[in-house]
Amino acid sequence: MSSIIRYPSFIKECDVIYETVETSLINELTPSGYLTIDLAALRRNYAQISNRVAPARAAGVVKANAYGLGARQVAAALLAEGCRDFFVAEFVEAVQLRPHLPPEARLFVLNGLQPGNEALCASINAIPVANSLLQLRRWRETATTLGRRLKVVIQFDTGMSRLGIAPEERGAVRAILEDAPLDVLFIMSHLACADEAAHPQNVQQLAEMQRAIADTQRTELSFANSGGVFLGSDYHGGLVRPGIALYGGAPTFGVPNPMEAVVRLEVAVVQTRRVPASTAIGYGASFLATGEMRLATIAAGYADGLPRTLSNRGAVYFEGTRLPIVGRVSMDSIIIDISALPEGALDLGSLVEVIGPNQSLDEVAHAAGTISYEILTSLGGRYRRRYV
């Protein structure tokens, strides 16, 4: 419906003026939350992985707006650290990022192309991953129609059943590539269990990848995500594809995280109060005050990417003191128990730590019953983003 509504032109002009005013106002106001992104730590994480996998090269996976942290800013930092290979998931992300990368940087589209996007992809010099015979055939046709050679990456499924060409289709790949004006830069696959170092599926997928190499007679290979980087050099191929580890998330379960924290999230207090024993707290009255309690309400909720599953489970920190979340997480606010703090320690405008030195990204994710990836990519647009 909305796409057929035509606004009178004066409304459009007002919108433009309003948007300009809005942007400058936003930089003036006191925000109720700060998301700080440490680009120097990100660069050190990239360098650590680069060193670990050499002579293989390390790409940067910057899909989903660099896991919510800003694809342009992250890509610029990685470029400065020597990264020249970038992966997005969707073609729209490639269109947005390509102008901000130098011509020699390679930009790969993990999901490949939806029908109709092929010519534009060729014109902006992005490189699709062909995940199916159909995507590969269409890309071949595009190259033939344009009368020039095009680059491509071919993904094989080695045991995840998500994206990639199945083992029984490898013969068909050879037929499609015969005399095709395509340059296959490398073949790739994705590990389903790389964050569990001892999982037997890792070696099974590696063996399947080796059969794919033999069948296709290709030597250039990309296999490892963050977890795969830490599985050892058998998994590295020529190009590794870390995402979460660059952003400070733990690449492997159950061992100390070797990566540096990149994200810090602080949220402002909106109000504080004292309540007597048995007072109902939050939606659904899911928490009753266990005695006289002092509470603070902070200005972020599930609309800002702090999941409802943190209700009565998670915590925030103030100067090292743990402040439990009490009651349900609301859309725009969370109530915390501040009884452990001295009277008056917190008031309107005070900042509490949600992610930071006292509580890692992975700890927040664990408390919420999810993974660091989901927390990062959900962090909303209402925080003031600071790049340092």
Min separation Cβ 305 and ligand PLP, Å: 17
Ordered DSSP codes for 111-179: T---TT-HHHHHHTT-EEEE-SHHHHHHHHHHHHHHTS-EEEEEEB-SS-SSSSB-GGGHHHHHHHHTT
- Out of 46, 63, 302, 317, which one is annotated catalytic? 63
Q: Which residue is nearest to ligand PLP (CB)?
A: 243
- Using CB under 6 A as the criterion, what x/- string covers residues 214-253 for binding ligand PLP? -----------xxx-------------xxxxx--------
Min separation Cβ 330 and ligand PLP, Å: 30
- Out of 18, 46, 247, 283, which one is annotated catalytic? 283
Positive or negative: CA dihedral 110, 116, 119, 124: negative
Should residue 140 be labelled a site residue for ligand PLP when binding is judged by CB under 6 A? no
Contacts of residue 261, Cβ cutoff 8 Å, sequence gap at least 6: 38, 41, 248, 356, 357, 360, 361
Total interface residues for ligand PLP by CB under 6 A: 12
Identify whether the C-beta of residue 191 lies closer than 8 Å to the C-beta of residue 232: no
With CB under 6 A as the contact rule, the residue among 110, 263, 299, 325 that binds ligand PLP is 110
Tell me if residue 283 is catalytic.
Answer: yes
Q: Which is nearer to ligand PLP, 117 or 189 (CB)?
A: 189
267-285 in b/e form (b: 16+ CB < 10 A) is bbbeebeebeeeeebbeee
Min separation Cβ 251 and ligand PLP, Å: 7
Distance CA 149, CA 108 (A): 16
Q: Which is nearer to ligand PLP, 108 or 317 (CB)?
A: 108
Q: Is residue 344 left, alpha or beta, with left meaning phi > 0 and alpha meaning psi from -120 to 50?
A: left
H/E element, 323 = strand 321-324
Positive or negative: CA dihedral 365, 369, 373, 379: negative
The reply to whether 162 sits in an annotated binding site is yes
Q: Which is nearer to ligand PLP, 64 or 146 (CB)?
A: 64
Min separation Cβ 99 and ligand PLP, Å: 23
Q: Which is nearer to ligand PLP, 56 or 335 (CB)?
A: 56
Should residue 294 be labelled a site residue for ligand PLP when binding is judged by CB under 6 A? no
Instruction: Specify the residue for token string 């296709």.
Output: 216
Min separation Cβ 86 and ligand PLP, Å: 12
Should residue 61 be labelled a site residue for ligand PLP when binding is judged by CB under 6 A? yes
Q: What are 85's strand-pairing partners?
A: 106
**Residues annotated within a binding site:** 162, 331
- Note the residues at the interface with ligand PLP (CB under 6 A): 61, 63, 110, 190, 225-227, 241-245
**What is the set of active-site residues?**
63, 283
**Residues annotated within a binding site for substrate:** 162, 331
